[in-house]
Amino acid sequence: MTSAKLTISSKNYSSWSLRGWLLCKMAGLEFDEVIAPPDEKNRQELLLLSPSVLVPRLTDGDVDVWDTLAIAEYMHERFPDAGLFPADMAQRAHCRAICGEMHSGFQNMRSAMPMNIRTTYDTFKIFTGARPDVERVKEIWTECLDAYGGPWLFGAKPTAADAMFAPVCSRFRTYAVELEPKLQAYCDMVFDWPLMKQWIAGAEAEPAEIVELEVEF
């Protein structure tokens, strides 16, 4: 069987690529990264391989999976012992609910505060429309950390939920969002996660600032 391939784009800007990549790494899948460079002509051709014309897109043997939530579920079925979703059914349902909420919601936060790992602002005035999204993220994290005891959202080990919210930790850092200590500790831990460090090193190594990507991505 040829090795799996994950098509992603910019490590600095592409929040969905980060989520898909974390999920595959957490599951223990061995895969090659195929980078669709955002500033090159062949990008569209690479993206056309994905029926949605979006990344991430996973090819694992004969199986093609596009859409990040589908990748999370596929990885969970393929590597059931990796703990991508909690073992307890009620916790698993909660985990799926917040992953789904991240996947389908928070549009204002996503457009007003695009992921940009390399950049940090000392202060940043958050667009009024995005503030309820930021507050809702804080509420989700607080509920999880209180219910399951941290340090990850569902307890001792990272789950799909931490992968889904990892780009939000980056956004909060970039746009200087004030957090209470418990939530700040969560974000700091996510940034110290060896997988995140590996991704961030890739983001740092990317060549140029791509102004057109500093929008929802």
Which positions touch ligand GSH (CB under 6 A)?
A: 9, 14-17, 47, 54-56, 67-69, 103, 217
Task: Please state the closest distance from residue 181 (CB atom) to ligand GSH, in A.
Answer: 30
Residue 46 or 185 with smaller CB distance to ligand GSH:
46
Residue (of 58, 67, 52, 64) closest to 27 by Cα position: 58
Task: Please state the closest distance from residue 48 (CB atom) to ligand GSH, in A.
Answer: 10
Task: Please state the closest distance from residue 103 (CB atom) to ligand GSH, in A.
Answer: 6
Amino acid type, 188: D
Angle between helices 15-27 and 160-174 (to 10 degrees): 140
Task: Please state the closest distance from residue 61 (CB atom) to ligand GSH, in A.
Answer: 20
* CA Rg value for the chain: 17
Residue 16 or 148 with smaller CB distance to ligand GSH:
16
Residue 10 or 91 with smaller CB distance to ligand GSH:
10
Residue 15 or 91 with smaller CB distance to ligand GSH:
15
Q: 148-175 burial, b for 16+ CB within 10 Å, e for fewer? A: bebbbbbbeebbbbbbbbbbbbbbbbbb
Q: Is the separation of the CB atoms in 71 and 24 below 8 Å?
A: yes
Task: Please state the closest distance from residue 88 (CB atom) to ligand GSH, in A.
Answer: 25
Residue 16 or 175 with smaller CB distance to ligand GSH:
16
Task: Please state the closest distance from residue 128 (CB atom) to ligand GSH, in A.
Answer: 24
Residue 102 or 145 with smaller CB distance to ligand GSH:
102
Q: 22-38 burial, b for 16+ CB within 10 Å, e for fewer? A: bbbbbbebebeebbbeb
Q: How far apart are CA 10 and CA 16, in angstroms?
A: 10
Token readout for 75 is: 């990885």
Q: How far apart are CA 214 and CA 217, in angstroms?
A: 8
Q: How far apart are CA 14 and CA 114, in angstroms?
A: 9
